[in-house]
Structure 1
């Protein structure tokens, strides 16, 4: 009977769906300045894409001899696009998404209006791509997507086939396809903004940024120019028959991969250093400025031997590392856990809400901090906003910042409290920068 009750909890919650509030647009009173939503209304719409003639990783038997020709297929990709909307736009602010269990569909709410008319603009907005983890979906970082859209960005979040909650399959597909998906979506979005196309003039795909979480961060590093190791190409559990070799550091295929339209990337908890996918030689290939975000207790990608080691070994470009002290792998990226996820799933072996939450940090607080720093980073890199640098020039340890103000509200010489954080609210964080060697 105990098992039966656990199984029925999500269904019971679904019946009461209308009463279940799952907002992704939370703003705490202590949210840093740049976390605040911008002045632009936001629209959102779903787009279906197909990448033709791709290697079908799932159709390859790694235990059999390598076939003379690798099987191929047309790879479907669903994306969600958030964008500045017309001032008089209308639409529902509800959207449907599946939970980590892969079977429960829930309603989320935000500020974006479904299928709202896009804004008219004389200056095209920058384009930002979002790439989820393994598994994940295009809504996992919806809090960040619509927040950026309200500030003058068009944001496209990808459902990576074989890597979503519903389609999770052999890991090799994610290893090989993640960066290819990111670049294919960039190309497709560029076409949709070309002269005479549906979104002509709305955004500039030649001025693009990329945000990746976990395996999305792994893909972002490859897309940025970081090549993987030979050892990772040879893993029996990885890309079958050496298919990951297209991303091998120094290979012709990988050297030709980076796209100059992507100007910067943010990698949140990027995976791979802990399992030998990266080394100093491969990471030296990163060609664009990158912001890394991590929890110091990341149990999936690791920290000292994981995300921090990646950051330390990216040597040819300007980089920064934002650390949530004592946070785990869920630092910054996932939206707040939907109420329907608060149950123990027997098949998965864990409480589904754990996929979205942290043992120490409040999720909305983490989201607000991420919104603040990603806004500053993208504003500087994609919009050339000189004032954004003020929010990224900080003492390394937030706890060491000193609040020292004159009566008229101006800063004294010894003021070093993190800019954008109200008095006493910059706690438990570190921000480090590194220039090319």
Structure 2
């Protein structure tokens, strides 16, 4: 074989290897610049699909908003599919792929990660915290799979919900999402609690009485309601919202909303939470939030907005300790969505946009955004659900990451003027802000 033939063969081989790698659509990418707590934990991970039915719910889709309000609202049994990631027994091996539909609602793709399908759960003397994940509108239970798998490897059980009428394949009237999002979250919490208590594979594995909630966009909207934030009277009456005042169950100050928060949920993380930009929240309603919250947003969010959107929500949740992590110049997809699958890079005529735009950001690299989110969510959950005091230092930061000073002694210890963001290697904490507010006294 001559030199030119050898080079051609090597090039072809590299091309095949590269194509095979691209075809995997990995959700577990760890960049060299990833901050410390983004790293996977020591536990193997399992993943399992669960089917749940929330009986006797108001059937929002069966209500004609143009017709007179019926004496009795139609009801139905509401199905919900949940993907559960959990610490697995040592030596778990098997299928590590996930089948998920794209934003177009028709293309099914294969994602790859580290979680083994239906692996036996770990045996532990201490129950792990439970974390619920709630996607956007539309979305699906795999949209934040990078985060679900990552934190499961660190000793969490994660239940990610497919919200009926709000997934890529079931997207329907927006009123169903407005009314049902928080109800779905609380129903899945109760189902998970019963599953842990009833025996079987997952008996004692997790403690539903020590639960965190993560929501993205409309999932963040639902998380605010679940945390105690009540919506405005104006939003209850929107003609494009919940028909015939059905959103009134979440009205700030109403008996139904006052009874909604569940003491088992100890904290929440909201990525780009929606609603302030359209009048669903005000200071009075947001003052009802009862648990510590972390908000994560892009400063150029054009869906939920930033100054008059996510930042305003953070500012007005006045009765709890809360934090705001900002990806400077990031958009609505900052931190939450998994990297865009290769099959999503095409212009969809019926949708009117390139499907990959649902996952990507014009400025930030998706894997880097994910790694940063994994780092901060780990620090936040470990602090609030595991009582890990050491993680507090990762959340005590100079507000502007660009202003942090790297100043270290030769032995690796920090000098007095060292203010670089903890957990970030020299030169890697760029383009971020982290701000905190304490509960009003």
TM-score range, shorter chain: over 0.9
Show the counterpart of 1:259. Answer: 262
Of 95, 98, 109, the residue aligned with 1:95 is 98
For the 8 Å contact 1:272–1:278, the answer to whether it is kept is yes
Distance 1:18 1:407, change over 3 A: closer
For the 8 Å contact 2:296–2:325, the answer to whether it is kept is yes
Show the counterpart of 2:387. Answer: 384
Unpaired runs of at least 5, structure 2: 1-18
Of 415, 418, 421, the residue aligned with 2:421 is 418
Show the counterpart of 1:53. Answer: 56
Unpaired runs of at least 5, structure 1: 1-15
1:127-185 deviation line (CA, Å, top 9, x unaligned): 00000000000000000000000000000000000000000000000000000000000
**Counterparts of 1:180 and 1:331, CA distance in 2:** 26
**Counterparts of 2:341 and 2:258, CA distance in 1:** 41
1:102 aligns to what SS in structure 2? Answer: coil
Of 130, 134, 137, the residue aligned with 2:133 is 130
For the 8 Å contact 2:267–2:291, the answer to whether it is kept is yes
Which runs of structure 2 are paired with 1:358-397 in the superposition (5 Å)?
Answer: 358-397=361-400
**Counterparts of 2:388 and 2:217, CA distance in 1:** 28
Show the counterpart of 2:241. Answer: 238
Shift of residue 196, structure 1, vs aligned partner: 2.5
1:60-82 deviation line (CA, Å, top 9, x unaligned): 00000000000000000000000
Of 279, 282, 295, the residue aligned with 2:282 is 279
Show the counterpart of 1:434. Answer: 437
1:186-208 deviation line (CA, Å, top 9, x unaligned): 00000000052441110000000
2:197 aligns to what SS in structure 1? Answer: coil
Of 164, 173, 177, the residue aligned with 2:176 is 173
2:131 aligns to what SS in structure 1? Answer: strand
Show the counterpart of 1:12. Answer: none
**Counterparts of 2:291 and 2:224, CA distance in 1:** 10
Shift of residue 377, structure 1, vs aligned partner: 0.1
Deviation beyond 3 Å, 4+ runs, structure 1: 16-19
1:193 aligns to what SS in structure 2? Answer: helix
Shift of residue 232, structure 1, vs aligned partner: 0.2
**Residue 301 of structure 2 corresponds to residue 298 of structure 1:** yes
1:81 aligns to what SS in structure 2? Answer: strand
TM-score for both structures, normalised by structure 2 = 0.95
Which runs of structure 2 are paired with 1:28-67 in the superposition (5 Å)?
Answer: 28-67=31-70
**Counterparts of 2:84 and 2:431, CA distance in 1:** 33
For the 8 Å contact 2:121–2:201, the answer to whether it is kept is no
**Counterparts of 1:17 and 1:240, CA distance in 2:** 49
1:309-367 deviation line (CA, Å, top 9, x unaligned): 00000000100000000000000000000000010000000000000000000000000
**Counterparts of 1:197 and 1:229, CA distance in 2:** 43
Of 394, 407, 410, the residue aligned with 1:407 is 410
Show the counterpart of 1:247. Answer: 250
1:72-97 deviation line (CA, Å, top 9, x unaligned): 00000000000000002222001100
For the 8 Å contact 2:337–2:359, the answer to whether it is kept is yes
Of 209, 212, 218, the residue aligned with 1:209 is 212
**Residue 401 of structure 2 corresponds to residue 398 of structure 1:** yes
1:133 aligns to what SS in structure 2? Answer: coil
**Counterparts of 2:202 and 2:114, CA distance in 1:** 21
**Counterparts of 2:190 and 2:292, CA distance in 1:** 21
TM-score for both structures, normalised by structure 1 = 0.96
1:69 aligns to what SS in structure 2? Answer: coil
Show the counterpart of 1:324. Answer: 327
Show the counterpart of 2:71. Answer: 68
Shift of residue 21, structure 1, vs aligned partner: 1.8
Of 215, 227, 232, the residue aligned with 1:229 is 232
Superposition RMSD in Å: 1.0
Of 176, 190, 193, the residue aligned with 2:193 is 190
Shift of residue 18, structure 1, vs aligned partner: 9.7
The count of aligned residue pairs is 422
Show the counterpart of 2:310. Answer: 307
Of 78, 83, 103, the residue aligned with 2:81 is 78
**Counterparts of 2:20 and 2:264, CA distance in 1:** 42
Shift of residue 20, structure 1, vs aligned partner: 1.4
**Counterparts of 2:343 and 2:249, CA distance in 1:** 41
Shift of residue 424, structure 1, vs aligned partner: 0.7
